[in-house]
């Protein structure tokens, strides 16, 4: 299985528009972060988690020429706003399968009504196949994907376990029973916004506590704010098996 971090930034991305914060001014490519998303490839299958406003650029960067579907964590704009840019995949492949919670599909139907409508569709508008997911395993390619239910302040969000790989983003709280589903995972990706407390995201300490509990072989931090600091400085402070993810990082497992 190959994982490509398409984006590792929080909702505004890094640099933030108009910001003079030193991290936003950094020349280090590892300090430039598009909105959060990952590409997961195994055998002949290619899935992407979330479809934020940087989706087009991310697909170009990753030289991705086909996707078997998009899996959504939740409906916030930094995870869904790039939906129109599935068009090139739609033109080549036909209707694109979407996997999301019922509530998330409803939100997308409202925001992108022209994509989800059956009537008088403008030529060239993409079409999707809606798959509702609940908090129980579902099939993607030849894998049984296990949803991990968590909360982003009060909003339900899904993380996903693909065999030995698990991806959690935009989480603030996860029930113990859900954490148990991560037992034995080799690579865990978890959101870590910044050091200071935040109402809807894990802080660095909270992310590290979860990693300590799950004990994966390696862990990667994502959904990062410029307030967390420079990539190279933060990396030095992290435990041995924990890495700050950065855009275009690829890992194999
Ligand atoms: Zn987000």
Section 80-84 average pLDDT: 98
Mean per-residue pLDDT, 167-179: 97
Kindly state whether residue 19 falls inside one of the protein's structural domains.
yes
Please indicate, yes or no, if residue 250 is contained in any of the structural domains.
no
Neighbouring C-alpha atoms within 13 Å toward the C-beta of 2: 12
Q: Give me the pLDDT at residue 118, please.
A: 86
* CA 81–ligand 1 middle distance (angstroms): 11
Question: How many Cβ atoms are within 10 Å of 68's Cβ, its own excluded?
Answer: 17
Indicate the number of domains in the chain: 1
| Cα(27) to centroid(ligand 1), Å | 24
Ligand 1 geometric centre to CA of 123 (Å): 31
Whether residue 219 lies inside any domain: the answer is: yes
Whether 235 has a pLDDT exceeding 90, the answer reads yes
By the 8 A CB rule, do 15 and 226 touch? Answer: yes
Q: How far is CA 179 from CA 92, 119, 188, 210, 240, in A?
A: 39, 43, 12, 8, 22
Tell me the CA–centroid distance for residue 219 and ligand 1, in Å: 19
pLDDT on residue 61:
98
Q: Running DSSP on this structure, what letter comes out for residue 80?
A: H
pLDDT digits (tens, 9 = 90+) for 36-79: 999 999 999 999 999 999 999 999 999 999 999 999 999 999 99
Kind and range of the H or E run holding 250: strand 250-252
In a domain, 17, yes or no: yes
Cα of 52 to ligand 1 centre, how many Å?
9
Q: What is the pLDDT of residues 186-210, one digit of tens each?
A: 999 999 999 999 999 999 999 999 9
Which of these ranges, 14-18, 41-45, 122-126, has the smallest mean pLDDT? 122-126
Predicted confidence (pLDDT) at residue 6 exceeds the cutoff of 90: yes
The rounded Å distance from CA 151 to ligand 1 centre is: 12
CA–CA distance, 175 with 185 (Å, rounded to integer) = 17
CA of 170 to the centre of ligand 1 (A): 5
In a domain, 251, yes or no: no
CATH number at residue 160: 3.60.15.10
104: confidence class by pLDDT, cuts 50, 70, 90: very high
First CA to last CA across the chain, in angstroms? 5
Mention every residue, 6+ apart, whose C-beta is less than 8 A from residue 199: 153, 172
């Amino acid at each position: 299985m190959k994982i490509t971090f398409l984006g590792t930034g929080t909702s505004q991305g890094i640099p933030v528009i108009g910001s003079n914060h030193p991290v936003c001014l950094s020349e280090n490519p590892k300090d430039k972060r598009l909105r959060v998303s990952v590409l997961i490839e195994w055998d002949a299958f290619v899935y992407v988690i979330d479809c934020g406003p940087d989706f087009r650029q991310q697909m170009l960067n990753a030289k991705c020429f086909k996707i078997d579907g998009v899996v959504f964590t939740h409906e916030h704009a930094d995870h869904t706003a790039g939906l129109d840019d599935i068009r090139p995949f739609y033109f080549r492949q036909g209707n694109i399968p979407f996997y999301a919670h019922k509530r998330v599909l409803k939100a997308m139907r409202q925001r992108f009504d022209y994509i989800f409508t059956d009537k008088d569709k403008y030529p060239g508008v993409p079409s999707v196949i809606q798959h509702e997911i609940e908090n129980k395993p579902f099939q993607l390619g030849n894998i049984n994907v296990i949803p991990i239910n968590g909360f982003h302040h009060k909003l339900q969000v899904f993380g996903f376990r693909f065999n030995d790989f698990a991806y959690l983003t935009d989480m603030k709280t996860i029930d113990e029973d859900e954490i148990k589903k991560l037992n034995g995972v080799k690579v865990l990706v978890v959101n870590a916004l910044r050091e200071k407390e935040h109402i809807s995201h894990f802080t660095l300490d909270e992310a590290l506590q979860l990693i300590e509990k799950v004990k994966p072989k390696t862990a990667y931090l994502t959904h990062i704010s410029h307030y967390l600091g420079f990539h190279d400085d933060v990396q030095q402070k992290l435990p041995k098996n924990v890495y700050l993810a950065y855009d275009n990082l690829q890992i194999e497992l």
